[in-house]
């Protein structure tokens, strides 16, 4: 049996990545992919990689998703919450926007500067490695942001066991430009990115709220992380370097990670701190760590592809779990090397 | 039923790419991968992308391949011809070196500067789009070079029908650095490549002989192409821009290409000339063309991933055909976009 | 004595590059740099490299340039021709737009699709290596396009002496993204450029008209070149690979180039075909060549920085010549290596 | 009057950068540049950027430097200390190796794993912004490492005034590949670097000792920093992101920096945290900072060109100071933008 699914707002990079992955799935069929801008255009003619599909982008219309078991929402933040209540009556939803990621909708309103129009809807923060059980059978899953995926996975085992100083958690992330989306801006204009490294949103990136939420939840204490992202001249990938200070440097940190992720097929605990090479193009999150005996610092590094594990791959992982399919279906391909 | 295959000389990039692809295959199992340098090292610990395999690199030993239906040979040019005669008695071979690519072994000796030690062996030039029929059931397939794959596919339909001046075929190729292999050299040292474009072997690249051979064969006339490669600051991908002068500019060139490749699942004739984006990471060869009415020139552009369609992906494609498996098995994944 | 100069439309990359170079000049002072968009902003706060200047961008006003000996015009094509007639009464002009590059204004109107509003103005095509004598004392110099600079310099000595077939001149150029200007577009969005190579305007780039004009002029015959540009993932630099077919392959081509450029301080005839490394950041044009004895083809390669020799450096070189200053003033710095 | 200077071990990137800068100097002339490997080769034929010099690389010979007022030593660590004692009798020295950077030669021996053979020689740590006074007239200046230059400049004003927790200083650096030198290695092989980010020497980079030394000196207390470098896919540039925790977040940190560097022409305190764009190709160190009010963290970011301010530019700056020349001579050029 094949499930029908649809993609709302599919003209951007997360939509493209969903189409790439779902085309290899086998258990689901994409019924609709909507885009106001591209309505009428064949997907094959628009994407340079995906061919052999008869899909065309469609103008969104009321009722058009009634045939879809599950809907992926790829519209910008603040637009998803207007659509989800209607859809949920009929279909499950994986929302790739930020609209349902923050459990405290008041925090959402503060961070995103708008009133939440459906704060009452129950949602699951879709990081399966932390919330797999609630995801099974969930109706509405809020797919995590790209930076939070890398950061939370690199820190959760430490926070769960209260192993580190919570006031001195430094997260220094390096992201490729595709994380900024498909719309051209000064920030992502090629001559301004090539051959350079740029810090941005140095102390106030919106993703901080997600990281704080999840690490606070798992630790049982209020955690506030010190997060700074950088744009590096690559297209895909986020490397997250976490600098933390354990209370007891002698503990078996690697062991804690291995145990924490023993049932998580997409987290690989590495012997050495990972780079992005070999991860890009895959749904894996590679994690490695090293203790700095001079200063008592623990460095934990995670590497993901921001469009796969950091967005659309994770969305499919969530879909697989929600629908009772094998978690790794369509997601097992290794990254590219070199 | 699962076939056993092995890889000789698997420590380089073509070996790594074979391991990546074969791990997704299903109908074959890799029994041995040899490397004198890495013997004893687990593959998972060495490659940053491929995990979940118990394989270790092994020291090559006589008789170790007797269990293998087919052997991929990834050793450098001039080393393969010493191994193939022994192996062929028991297993089929896809040779990724240049040793059996040139049908006239005398030309091989001239171009590679060594005596051929097994000139009598019958081999098929493994560009399936041209020689699929001979490949079915073949014992020894010579896997084409990366530049020739892109160039021959971009020109074969024109030469078969004798549509262009054969003395004025200009092929200007742009390749990523992985084509130069895994061994560090001055030529591929990152600071010397980043932010630059470098022409090299401007008139005498060894791959010219393969291009000449195949285009001469298909045209029935002696063809000598004008070929110049360039190194561009990317890791994977070859874009080949062919400038040719048709006798009759009014012909339906696109139609000729579509018909020529109508049974070839990995060649996609595009509405516009392709770039590398969307092809890298896949086994596709995208081709597009445009007529220059001012000068009577036809520009044909092909785009491939040099490690996939230009090497290991094509090797698996050949294996599939040789063994009667579906040609696209393990090779259908789209490239990455962006 | 210090000359006053001004820049009209200085907010883009050519304006920025002029400010970088003129700040090191000594014999000229920039009096005004205008930008409607940035009026009121200090230059130091806007450009990440140029500091220590009190200049602010100004709103253009009638009469504001009366104090300027020479004006650099950096506005888009079709906008310069409306300004130049007024300015010329008082100041000399180096126009970096295309408006006065094509001597036959009818060809301009065809290529740029607009009526020329001051076709009668006398202008010099500002490639000093070809037109140095007319540039001395000229009132209006049309600064060449970036591609034409690289292409014409690579071919002029051959065409002047009628050494090659004029119907089979293939020019295959590879350019960095800064050539597309400062305005973000889909074409130059970082994720669409990084890790890829893209052909574009494969047969109909507007710069062809300039190349044809200058090569026809110098050869005395009508020349029509076959030109195709490619975008490569670098910020600065154009490598131009010319494939031509000499009538007599035995000639001393290098000697012809050395003689032709013996008085040109910015053209360096190299022993080997050049890459972009070492040229970027400088006003040099490096040229090398190699004969393909197999096919009778001559490959001539030129390397320039598209913003320096291909735009603003050449504009300063023209200014130096026009004003009787040493041609190399402010332009002698070597490029960066690596 | 023109001073004669020489370069020992000039075949690498720091030697090339010295030749680029000194060629623009005017007050000094390079008399000798030695290289065992390249002896006899003209500099112009070897470097792609520097031309118009008659210099050839020479085999080092005893006594050959007697005509040189000052010698730049560019040999690898542990080789310089064998040469310096002899040279100092006649010439001043700027040593670009690490041999005299660590004032406590015992620390040197520990970090570099060799016995120091001239521990008694008096040297100045050549970061002019901290030690300008001692540099004037010094005989032996130890030119700082690239990472320490960026890190120390970003932190010195805070440590001098004891404004931050010294046990929680996190320094996360991102460097281009040219910092690894000219010799090709697996680490800097282009396909392994392009499109990726790689942490390395995550807790034990040798440059830590320099940073600790200088920050301890200026603070009057023992400081031990938590330092982690990353390789990013660019050729030149180091961006250093410092995460520190001030005791009093309300202080005027920017003011402290501006005052500290008020006499330092190459340090620019920026309104916003800088990126590498605009700094590469120059001798500037751009610094910016931002307070994270949520967590009490101060983020200080510095940007330098690792080969200029991080190596050879700083060496020339030291030379200028040692010889009583203007500090900025030959070093005032802005970086490239874009």
Cβ contacts of D293 on chain A, cutoff 8 Å: 203
Active site residues of C: 146
Q: Are C72 and C91 in contact (CB under 8 A)?
A: no
Task: Chain D: list its partners (3+ Cβ pairs within 8 Å).
Answer: A, B, C
What would the pLDDT profile of A85-132 be if each residue is shown by its tens digit? 999 999 999 999 999 999 999 999 999 999 999 999 999 999 999 999
A74 is catalytic: no
Residues A30 and A173 in one domain: no
Q: How far apart are CA C215 and CA C223, in angstroms?
A: 6
Tens-place pLDDT, residues B166-207: 999 999 999 999 999 999 999 999 999 999 999 999 999 999
Question: Inter-chain contact D24–C277, Cβ cutoff 8 Å?
Answer: no
% of chain C at pLDDT higher than 70: 100
Distance CA A125, CA A101 (A): 6
Together in a domain, C57 and C189: no
Rg, chain B, Cα only: 19
Helix count (H) and strand count (E) of chain B? Answer: 10, 14
Could you tell me the CATH number of the domain that includes residue C269? 3.30.360.10
Residue identified by tokens 């590219």 is A336
Residues in chain D: 338
CA-CA-CA-CA torsion for B158, B164, B166, B167, nearest 10 degrees?
Answer: -140
> How many other C-beta atoms are found inside a 10 Å radius of the C-beta of residue B109?
14
| Beta carbons of C307 and C178 less than 8 angstroms apart | yes
Mean pLDDT of C165-180: 98
What pLDDT score does A45 carry? 87
Whether ipTM > 0.90 holds is yes
**Number of Cα atoms under 13 Å in the Cβ half of residue A267:** 27
Residues B101-123: tens digit of each pLDDT = 999 999 999 999 999 999 999 99
What integer best gives the mean pLDDT of chain B? 97
| Whole-number Å distance between alpha carbons of A274 and A34 | 37
Identify from B16, B185, B189 which residue to disrupt to test chain D contact, counting D C-beta atoms within 10 A and taking the largest count: B189
Same structural domain, B264 and B115: no
Assess whether A139 and A213 both reside in one domain: no
What's the rounded Cα separation, in Å, for the pair C310 and C149?
Answer: 6
Domain annotation covers residue D23: yes
Mean pLDDT, residues A33-41: 97
- Rounded to the nearest 10 degrees, the angle between the axes of helix A128-135 and helix A313-322 is 30
What mean pLDDT comes out for the span C158-179? Answer: 97
Cα–Cα distance, C192 to C188 (Å, whole number): 7
Please say whether the beta carbons of C216 and C222 come within 8 A.
Answer: yes
pLDDT tens column, D149-190: 999 999 999 999 999 999 999 999 999 999 999 999 999 999
CA distance C193 to C196: 6
Residue of C nearest to D306 (CA): C338
The CATH number assigned to the domain holding B46 equals 3.40.50.720
Neighbours, chain C (3 or more CB pairs < 8 A): A, B, D
* Conformation bin of residue A137: beta by default, left when phi > 0, alpha when psi is -120 to 50: left
Model pLDDT, residue D10: 96
pLDDT band at B45 (very low <50, low <70, confident <90, very high): confident
Cα separation, D125 vs D143, in Å, equals: 6
Does residue D141 contact residue D317 with C-beta atoms inside 8 Å?
no
B16 with B88, same domain: the answer is: yes
Q: Quick one: D234 exposed, middle or buried, by C-beta within 10 A (0-12, 13-18, 19+)?
A: buried
Please give the biggest Cα pair distance in chain A.
62
Let me know if residue D90 belongs to a domain: yes
Are C255 and C129 within one domain?
no
Structural domain that includes position C286: 146-306
Q: Is residue B280 part of a domain?
A: yes
Mean pLDDT of chain C: 97
Nearest residue to B104 via CA among B142, B48, B73, B150: B142
A224 and A262 share one domain: yes
Q: What are D266-303's pLDDT values in tens digits? A: 999 999 999 999 999 999 999 999 999 999 999 999 99
C152 assigned to some structural domain? yes
Q: Judge if C239 and C217 occupy the same domain.
A: yes
Note whether residue D87 is domain-resident. Answer: yes
Rounded Cα gap, residues D332 and D283, in angstroms: 7
Query: Token pair of B24, please?
Result: 């997704």
Q: Are residues C101 and C175 in the same domain?
A: no
**Nearest residue to D149 via CA among D249, D14, D20:** D14
D154 and D123 together in one domain: no
Nearest-by-Cβ selection for B337 from A49, A271, A336: A49
Residue written as token pair 């990081």: A127
Strands of the sheet containing D285-292, edge to edge, are D198-199, D226-231, D170-175, D238-244, D297-304, D285-292, D267-269
pLDDT tens digits, A166-221:
999 999 999 999 999 999 999 999 999 999 999 999 999 999 999 999 999 999 99
Whether D329 is covered by a domain: the verdict is: no
C104 in any annotated domain: yes
Kindly calculate the radius of gyration of chain C based on its CA atoms and give it in whole angstroms. 19
Q: Are A97 and A223 part of one and the same domain?
A: no
For residue C29, give how far its alpha carbon lies from the nearest alpha carbon of chain A (Å). 28
Domains contained in chain C, number: 2
Task: Indicate whether C287 and C155 sit together in one domain.
Answer: yes
Tens digits of per-residue pLDDT, D26-58?
A: 999 999 999 999 999 999 989 999 998 999 999
The confidence score (pLDDT) of residue D32 equals 98
SS3 A267: strand
Q: Tell me whether the omega of the peptide bond preceding residue A115 falls within 30 degrees of 0, making it cis.
A: no
Structure tokens at C300: 């001539």
Closest CA to B18 of A337, D280, C270: A337
Each residue of D5-29: pLDDT tens digit?
999 999 999 999 999 999 999 999 9
> Looking at the domain assignment, is residue C113 inside a domain?
yes
Q: How far is A269 from chain B (nearest CA, A)?
A: 11
Half-sphere exposure of B277 (CA within 13 A, CB side): 25
CB contact under 8 A, A194 and C234: yes
Residues of B within an 8 Å Cβ radius of D: 13, 176-178, 182-186, 188-191, 193-195, 233-236
């Amino acid at each position: 049996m094949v499930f029908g699914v649809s993609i709302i707002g599919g003209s951007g990079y997360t939509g493209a990545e969903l189409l790439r992955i779902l085309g290899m799935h086998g258990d689901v069929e994409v019924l609709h992919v909507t885009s106001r801008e591209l309505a009428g255009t064949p997907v094959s003619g628009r994407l340079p990689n995906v061919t052999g599909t008869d899909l065309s982008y469609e103008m969104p219309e009321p009722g058009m998703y009634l045939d879809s078991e599950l809907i992926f929402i790829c519209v910008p933040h603040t637009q998803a919450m207007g659509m989800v209540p209607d859809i949920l009556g009929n279909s499950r939803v994986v929302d790739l926007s930020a609209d349902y990621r923050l459990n405290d909708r008041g925090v959402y309103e503060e961070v995103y500067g708008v009133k939440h129009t459906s704060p009452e809807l129950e949602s699951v923060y879709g990081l399966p490695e932390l919330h797999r059980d609630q995801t099974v059978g969930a109706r509405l899953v809020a797919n995590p942001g790209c930076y939070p995926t890398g950061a939370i996975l690199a820190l959760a085992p430490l926070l769960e066991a209260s192993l580190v100083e919570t006031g001195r958690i430094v997260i220094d992330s390096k992201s490729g430009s595709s994380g900024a989306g498909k719309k051209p801006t000064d920030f992502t204009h090629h001559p301004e990115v090539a051959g350079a490294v740029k810090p941005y949103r140095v102390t106030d990136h919106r993703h901080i709220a997600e990281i704080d939420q999840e690490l606070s939840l798992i630790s049982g204490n209020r955690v506030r992380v010190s997060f700074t992202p950088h744009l590096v001249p690559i297209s895909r990938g986020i490397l997250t370097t976490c600098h933390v200070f354990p209370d007891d440097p002698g503990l078996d940190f690697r062991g804690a990670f291995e145990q924490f992720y023993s049932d998580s097929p997409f987290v690989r605990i590495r012997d050495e701190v990972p780079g992005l090479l070999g991860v890009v193009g895959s749904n894996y999150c590679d994690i490695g760590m090293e203790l700095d005996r001079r200063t008592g610092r623990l460095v934990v590094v995670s590497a993901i592809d921001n469009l796969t594990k950091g967005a659309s791959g994770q969305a499919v992982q969530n879909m697989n779990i929600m629908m009772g399919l094998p978690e790794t279906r369509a997601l097992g391909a290794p990254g590219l090397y070199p």
